[in-house]
Every structure is written in C-alpha cells, then in structure tokens.
Amino acid sequence: MARRRVVVTGIGALTPIGNTRQAYWDALVAGTSGAAPITYFDASKFKTQFACELKGFDPQDHFDRKEVRKMDRFTQYALVASDEAIQDAALDLAVLDKSKAGVIWGSGIGGLETFQNEVLNFAEGNGTPRFNPFFIPKMIADIAPGMISIKYGFRGPNFTTVSACASSANAIIDALNYIRLGYADVMITGGSEAGVAKASIAGFNALHALSTRNDDPATASRPFDKNRDGFVMGEGAGALVLESLEHAQNRGATIYAELTGGGLSADAYHITAPHPEGLGATSVMENCLADAGVNFTDIDAINMHGTSTPLGDVAETKALKDVFGEHLYNMNINSTKSMTGHLLGAAGAVEAIASILSIKHGVVPPTINHKTADEQIDEKINFTFNKAQKRAVSMAMSNTFGFGGHNACVLFAKMD
C-alpha cells in the first residue's frame, strides 16, 4: 500500500513569547526571552522563582466563566491554539467529512495544577472529602483532544500521547501515520502544558533540573553555554492541521510544508539523564531520516532539544556529530528553548512550528544568551548564537527527548 503524503495547512501557537502564530514567530526572530519572575503564585520560598509564563492571556477572552471552571489551563491552551490552527487552515466544517477528521494531542502531565489544588483543598478541609465534581475530567491528560473533538464534531481517531517532553512530537508522528495509512484525511495535532505550578516547580527543583538564576531570569535559559545550570519552565500550546496532500489540494488549501517523516527511539539508560554518548538521540534522527527517505546531507537546519542542562546539551551535540559528520558544519543549529523555556509535553509541537516557519520565511531563529564557550561542545558548529540568520531552508528537523529516555524527531520539507 502506497503511503499518502502529508502536509501542514494550519498553525496555532500560544507561547510565553507570543499568544498567536505571528506574534510567536516575530518574537523568535527578534531573540526575545520569555523568562521573568513567577506571578501565578508566591515563589519566594522556592529555589527557582522565575519561569516562562504566558503574557496577557485571559481565559475569559476565549471562554465563558462556567467553561473556565470546568477546564484546567492545559485544556484551555489546547482549545485556543487548535482554534487558531483550524481557522488558519480555512477548514470548511460544513463540508468536511468529520468521520475522517481526528485529534491526537500530547501532554506530559495534563492537569497537574488541578490535582495539586484539589489535594491542597482536601488537606485544608481537615480531611473532609469535598472535591470539585470536575476534578477528574479536568485532570486527565486525554481531556484536551476530547474537548477539541467535541467542539468541532471530529469523529476520527482521538487520543493523547504521553511520553514526557516528547509527548507532542509523538502526537505529530502518530497523526502523520494515521493519515499516511488512510485512517484519516485531516488531523489536529500538537500539545499543551500548564507546567508553571507549585508542584511542578518544586518537583523539578528537587531533581536539580531547573536553573536557579533568580538574579537574571531573562538569561537563565542558555543552551550550550558553559555556565548553563538547568532549564527554565515554560507553558503554552502548539497546534498543527495535517492533511493528506490530495485532500489539501482538492480544497485549494495553502500549504506551509510537507511533513516527510518521524522517528522514535529509547535511550534505555536512565530515568532522567540522557545516554552520555547520545545513543538514543543518534538512533531517533537516523530513524527519522530513514522514514522520510532522505539523506542526512539534505538537512539544512535542526531545532535541537537543547534544554540548557549540563548533560543534555553535550549528549545531543555528540549525537549530531555521529549522524551528520562533516555536513553538520554546513547546517544551522538552534534551540528555541533559549527563548520560550521548556514547555514539557508541548515542546515538540511549539518547536516544530518554529522549524516549519523557518522553511516558510527562510530565517533560522537564534539560540540566545550564549556568552561563554564550553570546551565539551564543538563551537565550529553554527548554533545560530544570539542573532537570527537568513538562509534558504529546504528541510528542517526538530528533536524532542523526554524523561524515561523517550526520543522523537520530526522532519519537514519545503513543498515542490
């Protein structure tokens, strides 16, 4: 059976540096940092007191009061981003075969803040079990694609992928394959996370995973810099409308790029640390190239996982050298986490959008906050430090790796 080609026809973004697709892209190109002191709660007693929160987002601009109370923030974010993507794709819902339209969404944690607040309320109530009747549907990670499908009446494949920080890249790959194999014509895919909460900040602090650069939050996310000390928590959502090429052409859709391949692998090494030689990262990029049927020399740009952690940045760079060899020095490499922070389960989708828009606009966003070279990292590689660079991008790859050793990689190409 011939695999159908799959294209991107709609994009939606809700990020710490821009609440729409265009605002996000403009801020990426400008090298804007989304990190600032936490405003959602009193973080004065936490080791890390800053994060990449959404700016100027009011759920009541999108939902009525009753709806807001029924949804955790990660679901609100999912609905806002997917709505922008669907509008951007100009899908005519009146004629769309909704039995062939589905939603596959990624979230690493789901409604963590809801769970946290319900437990705190229970404890403060002297053990009296007075829980919100929406506690469970607000918390479960699969509620986001469920709510999207309910809103639009999409009756095709519908589920959530959970693979920590690789969750939304996994969702994109699953959506790709459902369309390739003919189980759907249109898929809404991506991911959302609302990770700026007491429990998550404290939990990642306990793991020593977060930067503690409280005196200068805007420069705290500094991938590949010698003085990096951990990632910065981010939040938000990214959404894509994927269609079979034939379906998109038949309705005269505008196409951003072709989604040519996806790769998956496991480190099989450690619950939080990457394999020190980057073996899982090497495998996932090789698997992605093989799935797309392209040569490593065809790749122009890679948005790395690049979390700004001491171990992760070194291991991923080793993997790049193993996969791309000398061609690596001809490419643009970057980490948009330097600006958005780490959106956990939403990272793959938000970073894939950056790769797609690099192809569309011929610009690679920078890796900001680089000041000091790390002798463990080959700085002959063009990491696009501190300033965006113009270049024709025909193929762009995006890497996402998660706790537990979950690796996912997606590849986009300029349409012929």
Which sequence positions are flagged as catalytic?
165, 305, 342
Task: With residue 409 as reference, give the H or E element that holds it.
Answer: strand 406-413
Measured CA distances, 77 to 68, 235, 397 (Å): 11, 9, 25
Q: Whose structure tokens read 């990624």?
A: 106
Compute the distance between CA of residue 28 and CA of residue 244 in angstroms, rounded to an integer: 29
Residue in 46, 45, 223, 188 with CA at minimum distance from that of residue 106 = 188
Count CB atoms within 10 A of the CB of residue 78: 35
Compute the distance between CA of residue 202 and CA of residue 207 in angstroms, rounded to an integer: 9
Backbone torsions φ then ψ of 335, nearest 5 degrees: -135, 110
Count CB atoms within 10 A of the CB of residue 153: 11
Residue in 132, 117, 48, 69 with CA at minimum distance from that of residue 342 = 48
Compute the distance between CA of residue 67 and CA of residue 395 in angstroms, rounded to an integer: 41
Measured CA distances, 178 to 104, 168, 185, 193 (Å): 10, 15, 8, 24
Residue in 162, 152, 212, 220 with CA at minimum distance from that of residue 186 = 152
Secondary structure class of 263 (helix, strand, coil): strand
Query: In which region does residue 282 sit, left (phi positive, over 0), alpha (psi from -120 to 50) or beta (all else)?
Result: alpha
Using the Cα atoms of residue 33, residue 317, residue 163 and residue 354 in order, give the sign of their dihedral: positive
Measured CA distances, 126 to 114, 117, 118, 119 (Å): 19, 15, 13, 11
Identify the bridge partners of residue 409 per DSSP, sorted by sequence position: 263, 399
Backbone torsions φ then ψ of 74, nearest 5 degrees: -65, -30
Secondary structure class of 208 (helix, strand, coil): coil
Question: Where are the strands (E) in 205-320, listed by range?
Answer: 235-244, 257-266, 301-303
